[in-house]
Amino acid sequence: MTVRVMLISPAASTDLRAARFGSDAPLSAAGLDRARSAAARTPGADRVSTAPARRCAETAAALGLAADVDPALADLDTGTWRGRTLDELAATDPAALGTWLADPDAAPHGGESLTDLTARIGAWLTTRPPGRTLAVADPAVIRAALVHALALPPHAFWRLDVEPLTLTRLTGGAGRWNLACGERL
């Protein structure tokens, strides 16, 4: 039987728009409304999970999903950068930010590198059982899943845009995945 993994990015939150690292802010009112209106278009699944982030859990609830929280789907750990915006870091620590953006193995914030995130999410992907798994996860998690599943070079992580409330489908397993991406809910 085929493994089907469907990943939904959370609806918009105020901190997502501000490019704030590691924030656990709630969904914006518009994001919540949009998620509720997309509930009827959410695909069915044998297993439903959500990342621990508040925005992911709120998105899952608004979509009408009874989802189990899966800690393996946690967003990228940005360590000391948690709560800060990309603009703040560019102004106060441009060298560390530049290193992080250029080197997937770097974690100048003391948290998780992109390489580590990709390995963690890759391990999650490879343990999916046959059937359909649906998960609400942060954009970085979805990008890491794509880098792993498609054996993309690590720098491709930054070239993958995951818009709010979109569906990414991976089908296959055992090191051979096919992709359907960017479907709006």
- Using CA atoms of 110, 115, 117, 123 in order, give the dihedral in degrees to the nearest 10: -140
pLDDT tens readout for residues 85-118: 999 999 999 999 999 999 999 999 999 999 999 9
Whole-angstrom Cα distance, residue 143 to residue 162?
7
Q: Give the separation between CA 185 and CA 43, rounded to whole angstroms.
A: 9
| Number of domains observed in the structure of the chain | 1
CATH number of the domain to which 50 belongs: 3.40.50.1240
Domain carrying residue 175:
3-184
Predicted TM-score of the model (pTM): 0.94
pLDDT value at residue 184: 83
What would the pLDDT profile of 19-78 be if each residue is shown by its tens digit?
788 878 889 999 999 999 999 999 999 999 999 999 999 999 999 999 999 999 999 999
Cα–Cα distance for residue pair 8/43, rounded to 1 Å: 10
CB 170 within 8 A of CB 125: yes
183 band by pLDDT with thresholds 50, 70 and 90: confident
Task: Decide: 7 and 168 in contact? Cβ < 8 Å.
Answer: yes
